[in-house]
Amino acid sequence: MRYVDEFRDGRLGQAVAGEILTTVDPARHYKVMEICGGHTHSIYKYGIDDLLPANVELVHGPGCPVCVIPMGRVDDGIAVARTDGVIFACFGDMLRVPGSERTLLDAKAQGADVRMVYSPLDALRIARENPDREVVFFAIGFETTAPSTALTLKRAKAERLTNFSCFCNHVTIVEPLEALLGSPEVTLDGFVGPGHVCTVIGTRPFEFIPARHGRPVVISGFEPLDILQSILMLVAQLRDGRCEVENQYTRVVPRDGNARALEVMAEVFEPRPVFEWRGLGFIPHSALALSDAYREFDAEARFDVPGVRVSDPTECQCGDVLKGAIKPWECRVFGTACTPEHAIGTCMVSPEGACAAYYNYGRLARAREIV
C-alpha cells in the first residue's frame, strides 16, 4: 500500500532522526508521553527508541484499553463466560488478562465457550448463526472502537435479535489524561497524541492540554515515520516556545472527527458517572454504559455479575507504569514474578502494554548516542 511503504522508509527515518538530533537542546532532557497502545507497539516493533538521541525519553501512557481494565471487571466477564449456554466473544488481548483467580483463557480451558473476534460485528454474526445460544460481546476500547460497538448494537436492534448482549467497558481518552496531568509525580514535556481516536473525536478535545497545562501535543499516525515526525514536531515546538495541538496525521485525521460516529455513539451510549481504571483509581465521566434505549442489550442487566471490586495485588505497580511515573524495569516485580508467561498485571499481558512491549522487544542493551 502506498501509505504504508513511504512511512516505513528507513532512509527517510534516518533523515528525520537526524533532524531531531539537531533540533534538541543537548543540555535538556525531554520526556515525551505517547498515549496510545498502538504507538507503544510501533515504537518497539521498529526500534524507534534506538534512533532517538539519548536525551529524548519516551514514556508510555494509559492508552492501552486492555491494561486499564480492573481485575473486578475481568472477573465479571469471566462469570458471564462461565454461564451455561453462553458464547463469550472478545478481542484477542483480553484472553490472557488476569482476573482474581483466572483468565478468560483458563476459563476456556475449563470448558467455557470463549471465542476471539476482531470486530463486534463478528460477535453479532455468531449470534445470528446460533439463535439458541446467548452471545455476549466483551466491549473494550477507546473512542476509536466505541463506534463499532454502537453500530453493532444498532444493527442488533434493527434485526430484533434477542440473544445478543454487550458487556460494555468502553473508556474515553481525555479524562485519564486530565487525571494524569493533575498528578504531581508526573513531569512531561509533551504528548504524542492518539491518531485513530482523533478520527472519531477530532483534535479539539486535546486543546486543554496546551491551554490549561502548557504542554504541546502532536497528533500522530502509527507508522514509524509518523512517530518520528511527530517527535520532531514536538521538540520543534519546545525549541520555538510554541504550545499547541498540531496534527501530523493530516492524511487521515479530520480536525472535527467523524460526526456520524459521534451521533451513533450518543444514541447508543451514555457516560458513566464514574469508572475504575486499573492503577489510576476512580475517574469521573471516563467510561461509557449503554443508554436507556439500548438497555435490553446490556449484559450487566441480563446476567448476574459479581460486581466485586478487586484490588490489584500489592506487588503490582501497573498504575505507576500507566501514569509514566516509572519505567517497566523499575517495577519491583518486572521480569521476576511478573513475566509474559506468568503475568501479574495487565501491562505485561497485553502486547501493547509497556511492560510486555519492553520485555518482548526492547530488552537489549542499547548503544545510544550520547548527546
Partner 1 sequence: MSAPSDRPECEAAEGHCITCADEGIVMRVLELDGDSALCAAGEGAVTSVAVDLVAPVARGDELLVHAGVALVRLGVPS
Partner 2 sequence: MSASESIAGGREQRVLQIIQTARAKRPRFRDERITLAHGAGGKATQTLIDGLLVPALCEPGSALAALGDAGALTIDGHRLAMTTDSFVVKPLRFPGGSIGSLAVNGTVNDLAVSGARPLALSVSLILEEGLESDVLRAEVEAIALAARSAGVEIVAGDTKVVERGAADGMYITTAGIGAIDPRADCSSGAITAGDRVLLSGPIGEHGTAIMLARNLFELDARIESDTRSLWPAVDALLDAAGAELHCMRDATRGGVASVLNELARAAGVGVTVVETAVPVAPTVAAAAELLGIDPMYLANEGRLVAFVAPDAAERALAALRSVAGCEEAALIGEVTPETPGMVLVQTGFGGRRVMDQLVGDPLPRIC
- Minimum distance of partner 2 from residue 293's CB (angstroms): 29
Distance CA(346)–CA(93), nearest Å, equals: 10
Give the rounded distance of the alpha carbon of 137 from its chain centre. 18
Give the rounded distance of the alpha carbon of 39 from its chain centre. 9
The entry of partner 2, partner 1, none that residue 47 binds, CB within 5 to 8 Å by partner kind: partner 2
Could you give the 3-state DSSP secondary structure of residue 249? coil
Q: Which of residues 91, 137, 167, 275 is near partner 1 by CB under 8 A?
A: 91
Distance CA(140)–CA(134), nearest Å, equals: 19
Q: Which of residues 93, 175, 246, 276 is near partner 1 by CB under 8 A?
A: 93
The nearer residue to partner 1, 1 or 27, going by C-beta atoms, is 1
Q: Judged by CB under 8 A, which stretch of 146-154, 208-216, 236-244, 270-278 contacts partner 1?
A: 146-154
Q: Could you say whether residue 289 binds partner 1 (CB under 8 A)?
A: no
Q: Could you say whether residue 128 binds partner 2 (CB under 8 A)?
A: no
The full DSSP string for 251-274 is TT--TT--HHHHHHHHHHEEEEEE
Distance CA(323)–CA(361), nearest Å, equals: 21
Q: Could you say whether residue 28 binds partner 1 (CB under 8 A)?
A: no
Q: Judged by CB under 8 A, which stretch of 4-12, 135-143, 214-222, 262-270 contacts partner 2?
A: 4-12
Q: Could you say whether residue 3 binds partner 2 (CB under 8 A)?
A: no
The entry of partner 2, partner 1, none that residue 166 binds, CB within 5 to 8 Å by partner kind: none
Give 298's DSSP letter.
B
Q: Could you say whether residue 114 binds partner 1 (CB under 8 A)?
A: yes
Q: Judged by CB under 8 A, which stretch of 92-100, 147-155, 187-195, 196-204 contacts partner 2?
A: 92-100
Q: Is 357 left (phi over 0), alpha (psi -120 to 50) or beta?
A: alpha
Could you give the 3-state DSSP secondary structure of residue 338? strand
Q: Which of residues 66, 334, 345, 350 is near partner 2 by CB under 8 A?
A: 334
Q: Could you say whether residue 4 binds partner 1 (CB under 8 A)?
A: yes
Q: Judged by CB under 8 A, which stretch of 207-215, 260-268, 287-295, 311-319 contacts partner 1?
A: 260-268
- Minimum distance of partner 1 from residue 371's CB (angstroms): 31
Phi, psi of 68 (to 5 degrees): -90, 0
Residue for cell digits 524495569? 329
Is 299 in contact with 167 (CB distance < 8 Å)? yes
- Minimum distance of partner 2 from residue 155's CB (angstroms): 15
Q: Which residue from 219, 212, 223, 222 is spatially nearest to 192, judged by alpha carbons?
A: 219
Q: Which of residues 13, 53, 62, 63 is near partner 1 by CB under 8 A?
A: 63
